Amino acid sequence: DTAVSQTPKYLVTQMGNDKSIKCEQNLGHDTMYWYKQDSKKFLKIMFSYNNKELIINETVPNRFSPKSPDKAHLNLHINSLELGDSAVYFCASSPGGNQPQHFGDGTRLSIL
């Protein structure tokens, strides 16, 4: 059973479109995250949700909006996609305390 699953794995779309990436975790973790990994492999945290409440909101454009219908899901919606949005987006989850995050396999977003 996949612990953290995100779909789609690949997403190719044109500038200006709106797209969503879905994430689900079956680990019972309280906190979920979205990261962006650029072409230089740098990981930047975008959002963190704890029990459906946003607890971290880094300085990302407001075209990006996280949506958490329940504790097991944290979807990422992106409006008006730009070339600079091309990256790999990772979903992750963790339990409380200083415990490790578990990552999904990533979604490679390519903007044409």
Partner 1 sequence: AQKITQTQPGMFVQEKEAVTLDCTYDTSDPSYGLFWYKQPSSGEMIFLIYQGSYDQQNATEGRYSLNFQKARKSANLVISASQLGDSAMYFCAMRDLNQFYFGTGTSLTVIP
Q: What residues make contact with partner 1 under the rule CB under 8 A?
A: 33, 40-43, 45, 48, 50, 55-56, 88, 90, 92, 94, 97-103, 105-106, 108
49: β partners = 32, 54
* Residue whose CB is less far from partner 1, 32 or 111: 32
Asked whether the beta carbons of 21 and 7 are under 8 A apart, the reply is yes
For residue 92, the minimal CB distance to partner 1 (Å) is: 8
- What residues contact 35, with CB distance under 8 A and at least 6 apart? 43, 44, 45, 46, 89, 90, 91, 92
For residue 107, the minimal CB distance to partner 1 (Å) is: 10
For residue 27, the minimal CB distance to partner 1 (Å) is: 12
